[in-house]
Structure 1
Amino acid sequence: MTTVRDVVQNLETLLPWPNGEVETVDTLLFGNMDDSIRGVAMTFVASYEALRDAVAEGCNLIISHEGLFYQHMGNCGTLHEDPVARKKLEYIVQNNVAVYRLHDRPHRTRPDCIVQGLAKKLGWTDLIVGSHTASFDAPIVQLPSITLGHLALQVKMAFQLAWVRVVGDPQLTCRRAGLLPGYRGGGSTAIPYLREAGLDVVIVGEGPEWETVEYVRDAAAMGYAKAMIVVGHQQSEEAGMELIADNLRALLAPIPVRFIPLQPVFHFL
């Protein structure tokens, strides 16, 4: 019999970071550690649609990178009387599924598994030539010379997106790139990374639009070779969770491990 505890221990083997050293959101949100597992579903966020897909696939353990109830810390919190949160909670309870939050461990393992998944998705794994010294995993990617406009097109194709947001001159020649998945696109992380690592362009998930975005706008206007491509939080981190699912699958066989992708959350009309 494979239990939730067995799955968590395998995740700790795959992603070696001592959980007890600092505060973490990684924990079992629903279910019990000794629950028997029939199938595992890995996803960027356990949305209502992802939960339904997991149940339909016969999975009774869902591993979610982001929080279920629309905030980073905690669980339902003040939303316990909200009809949307309540219906989601009822669905989890009624279908007797366990839900485990897996956010910090992938990021704090070196190399960062979410960064590695993003690099793999872009086809850049073998182009990583070094790392910028920072508190987070900050790879330096050496690209064949390419204009920012053509690079944006490649990124769109890799993620099968109809759009990405770009700051900078589309004709800029890009040779050195950085990767900042998730919410690392803010000024305190991205600006030193761009400057100190000598990057031409940084690919980010998201960040405050008045920080790095405005820095790159000013840098481009002054003639500096700086640019930014914003792909969205989900798109930048989903591939990392898929990579973890692929690695976990071999350890848990014959228990099925499925990755549940999500449709892009935004519609552009």
Structure 2
Amino acid sequence: MANRRQFIAGLSQTLGAAYLLNIPFCAGATPVASAPLTVGQVMELILKTIPGAPFPKTVDTLKSGRPEQPVTGIISTMFTTIEVIEQAIAAGANFIIAHEPTFYNHADETDWLKDSPVLQHKQALLDKHKIAVWRFHDYWHAHRPDGIRKGMLDVLGWSQYSQADTEPLLVMPPTPLNTLIGHVKQKLDIKTVRLVGDRNQVCRRVLLMPGASGGRSHIMAVEKYRPDVILCGEANEWETPEYIRDARRQGQQVSLVVLGHIMSEAAGMEWFVNWLKPKVPGVSVRYIPSGNPFTYE
């Protein structure tokens, strides 16, 4: 009961207590087969699997929709793009669980953009079709194992090189960096990467840091684990790349490969589908890739 009360309290901070008075939660009971799960019930059963959830402060809040609305289908994705929303509508799904922001900033604040026709169009589309959007970032990374990392390791075929006590370090057979890059590009459908270092360097100790954990996190990990290469999702140009450039000049044999944020984490949201399906029997759950917005000239 305490966890249930904490969860409802956390939701009320985002949606307002009035929205929550009619949420048909039933702690300790299995939903009746004829009664579809609600958005709030799906969120609750997911949070029960996350250590320490619900968090007192998190960006993982409902961005649209209401917790009491029945779920007609669930979509997992990286970004709630307009294309993803349109595909969800076509699939008859009204609950999108996205890893990243919906409204163009980390906290999904919209006051600064309230007069934007782009924002208004997206909000109107979500409202018209009564689609709930829940960001699932902090909680999925807090899952054990980290849901994003688990999905990435499975797709790359590198799970056997990972040890829980030395995350994010992978120790693998000596492999030329150029071969590693080719493998990652093929498995993750990445068109191009950015490299600081030597593509012919032989690598055994690999730091896998998908997403955007930040320059300080990258640099501290390099200092701690002394890898041959760090594979990251994205990096500010004045942080990790400059550190690696100076480290190489100083004499260290370390390289940096920037994969791109979206494609470095997407497999983790695809893995989420198979993780979630057994928990919501009878509910359609599918992955829709939001894809990479860039083309390369």
Which bin holds the TM-score, normalised by the shorter protein? over 0.9
Match of 2:281 among 233, 253, 258: 253
For structure 1, the residue ranges without an aligned partner over 5 or more in a row are 133-137
Q: 1:103 aligns with which of 137, 144, 151?
A: 137
When residues 74 and 130 of structure 1 are mapped into structure 2, their CA distance, relative to the original with a 3 A threshold, is: closer
Question: Could you give the per-residue CA deviations for residues 184-205 of structure 1, whole angstroms, max 9, x where no partner exists?
Answer: 1x33111121121121111111
| 1:10–1:248 contact (8 Å) kept in structure 2 | no
Larger radius of gyration: 2
Moved beyond 6 Å, runs of 4+: none
Task: Out of 160-169 and 83-92, give the one that drifted further.
Answer: 160-169
2:43 to 1, 4, 8: 8
Asked if 1:170 is matched to 2:170, the reply is: no
Q: What is the one-letter code of the residue matched to 1:151?
A: L
Cα RMSD (Å): 1.5
The corresponding residue for 1:34 is 68
- Correspondence 1:103-252 to 2 at 5 A: 103-132=137-166, 138-184=167-213, 186-252=214-280
Tell me the amino acid that sits aligned with residue 209 of structure 1.
E
State TM-score, norm by structure 2. Answer: 0.84
* Aligned counterpart, 2:101: 67
Which structure dedicates a bigger proportion of its chain to strand?
Answer: 1
Q: Distance in 1 between matches of 2:164 and 2:124?
A: 47
Q: Quote the residue 1:135 is aligned against.
A: none
Alpha-carbon displacement from aligned partner over 1:167-222 (angstroms, at most 9, x marks no partner): 111111100111211111x3311112112112111111112111111111222233
TM-score (norm 1): 0.92
**Counterpart among 94, 103, 112 of residue 78 in structure 1:** 112
Distance 1:162 1:18 in 2: 37
Quote the offset at 1:17 in angstroms.
3.3
1:106-162 CA-to-partner distances (Å, cap 9, x unmatched) read 122333211222222211111113544xxxxx3221111111111111111111222
Q: Which residue of 2 is the match for residue 45 of structure 1?
A: 79
Cα pair 1:61 1:98 within 8 Å, conserved = yes
Matched residue type, 1:145: P
